[in-house]
Chain A
Amino acid sequence: MIQTNSDAIIRLFHIHKRYGKSFALKDVTLDISKNEFLFVTGRSGAGKTTLLKLLYLGEPVSEGQVLIDGMNLSRIGRSRIPLLRRKFGIIFQDYKLIPTKTVYENVALVLEAAGRKPRLIDKKVRSVLRTVGMEDRMSALPQSLSGGEQQRVAVARAAVGDPKIILADEPTGSLDEEAAGIIMDYLDAFHARGTTVIVATHDKALLQRSTSRVVHLRDGQLWSNESA
């Protein structure tokens, strides 16, 4: 039985994740509060991406329980997975933009999938693209954008649905220092508006610019849980 913590929006309780016989995560217990900015660090293969995937049911847990904003993921039906995912805005290292759709369409997709009205979609998409400085490139296709620009579109897509939680998996992994700084500024801005932000990264430079809590994963185990 998990004890309730009214401040936690995410609760991981003795989580194990196995791929065959090898463990990607071992006995991870972690609470993440509402409006927290959390870094998850560790080397490649430490289990950072797996941890994030368990949160939006990109992968099922092997053992343990995950609670997201009151939803117990081990009891969630297939039909409710989209509702769970709408609580998240997800930023991927490889951006995951749809190459055949324009910047505008990529961002609008989130609201279309949520069944929002066209007028609202247009208003919100323009607004968020303005925020990330991509308003002038709305009609461009992703392949015509630089890496930094593509990641800004990915940030816009993650933020457009006003999610409760933003998950960023190595958001600056393939960006130069300046572009990385811009992306982190946007994440700070969304955090300042009340969004919970979780950043998985192995970039120590990112940690140095922040005072947020850092959890460290090593070989699938939570190694340390501290403020930066």
Chain B
Amino acid sequence: MKRFFKRAINDIKENRFLTAITVVTIALSILIASAFALFFVNAGDLLTQWQKGIRMMVYLKPSTSEAARLDTKFRLQSIAGVQEAVYISKEEAMDRLKGQMPNHSALLENLKENPLPDAFEVTLQAAARDSAELQFLSERIQTLTAVEEVEYGRQWIQRFTNIINLFSIAGYGIGALFFMATVFIVANTIRLVLYSRRDEIEIMRLVGATDRFIKIPFYLEGMIQGGLGTLIGLAVLYVGYFSLSSHFQPSLASGLLTLRFFPATICLLIIVSGTLVGWLGCWISLKQFLK
């Protein structure tokens, strides 16, 4: 194996230009595909973070009695998925509104009657925070007698989920395209190398070299090119990520969102995938060339 590895390194040195083209191509493909993946990872984090803050506002009917209110609270808390139900009287709601709109407090002061309803602010367990579960819970709560209306920003959650889903599908599609393009480019680059060395390969065969003896160094070359290209692509992505995150992190930190890079295991997985892409490109070329 050491001998094959030495031959592969020598071949890479002798074909520096073609090797450089392959490595740069793989690096660019990995960079673009990984940039998409990184975006999805952080967008996913954002969604999760945002979902943690989801509250459901359960507005009560104006004529709800104290007993009915207590009964409603009891019923709310007994529903699976509900973490807590905090009562907010309409006076308290008005105070909050005034606090949130200090410049318009005079306007609110002039109201003859408090138009806000009594309500429960319902916090949810993690399992109940996805769009379908929220919809189900909302419909369930709506059936309670004292409940006038349930509000939880359904449209926003639905839209955000749809956007993430759309991006995920696009991401898989783009990832698959980049994978195929990279394999195709590697295969063609290796084919160029094979054509430039067809006399050498022919001579090897004439002196009794097996296909294995000829192929192994090419496989190693492909894997080295794949691994190296992936490392470079990831390194460039990290530099880009680092400069972007240091620029945007202070403003994002106030929203409790922290940008993050891929964990080490994912980086390793990407490097292994890139190496395999190099191998696969080589395999395709050799299969056709040594027919």
Contacts and interface: CB of A to CB of B under 8 A. Distances in A.
Bound together: yes
Interface of A: 56, 58, 79, 82-83, 85-86, 88, 90, 96-98, 100, 109-110, 112-115, 118, 157, 161
Given A112-B3, A118-B3, A100 B14 contact: yes
Given A100-B14, A112-B3, A85 B208 contact: yes
A109 B199 CA distance: 14
Nearest to B2: A118
Contacts of A113: 204, 207-210, 213
Contacts of B200: 98, 100
Given A82-B209, A82-B210, A100-B14, A109 B204 contact: yes
Please classify the interface of chain A as helix (H, G, I), strand (E, B), loop, or mixed, using the class held by over half of its residues. mixed
16 contacts: A56-B206, A85-B206, A85-B207, A85-B208, A90-B206, A90-B207, A96-B199, A98-B200, A109-B203, A109-B209, A110-B207, A110-B208, A112-B3, A113-B204, A113-B207, A115-B213
- Most chain B CB inside 10 Å of its own CB: which residue of A58, A86, A90, A112: A112
Contacts of B14: 100
Given A96-B199, A100-B14, A118-B3, A58 B208 contact: no
A118 B208 CA distance: 17
Given A113-B213, A118-B3, A96 B208 contact: no
B209 A96 contact: no
Please classify the interface of chain B as helix (H, G, I), strand (E, B), loop, or mixed, using the class held by over half of its residues. helix
Contacts of B210: 79, 82, 113
B16 interface: no
List 6 A-B pairs, minimum CB-CB distance, nearest first. Answer: A113-B209, A86-B208, A85-B208, A110-B207, A82-B210, A82-B208
A96 B3 contact: no
Report the contact-size class of chain B (Cβ under 8 Å from the partner). 10 to 19
Contact of B203 (A86, A88, A96): A96
Interface of B: 3, 14, 199-200, 202-210, 213
Nearest to B202: A96
Contacts of A97: 203
Nearest to A100: B14
Contacts of A83: 208
Given A96-B199, A112-B3, A58 B206 contact: yes
B277 to A, nearest CB: 27
A86 B199 CA distance: 19
Given A83-B208, A96-B202, A96-B206, 13 more contacts: A79-B210, A88-B208, A96-B199, A98-B203, A109-B209, A112-B3, A112-B213, A113-B208, A113-B210, A115-B213, A118-B3, A157-B207, A161-B207
Contacts of A86: 207-208
Nearest to A110: B207
Nearest to A109: B207
A114 B212 CA distance: 11
Contacts of A79: 210
Given A96-B199, A98-B203, A114 B3 contact: no
Contacts of A157: 207
A100 B15 CA distance: 11
Contacts of A114: 208
A109 B213 CA distance: 11
A175 B236 CA distance: 57
- Most chain B CB inside 10 Å of its own CB: which residue of A58, A97, A109: A109
Contacts of A161: 207-208
- Most chain B CB inside 10 Å of its own CB: which residue of A86, A110, A118: A110
A39 B265 CA distance: 67
Contacts of A112: 3, 213
A47 B206 CA distance: 19
Contacts of A82: 205, 208-210
B203 A85 contact: no
B203 to A, nearest CB: 5
A98 B208 CA distance: 15
A136 B210 CA distance: 31
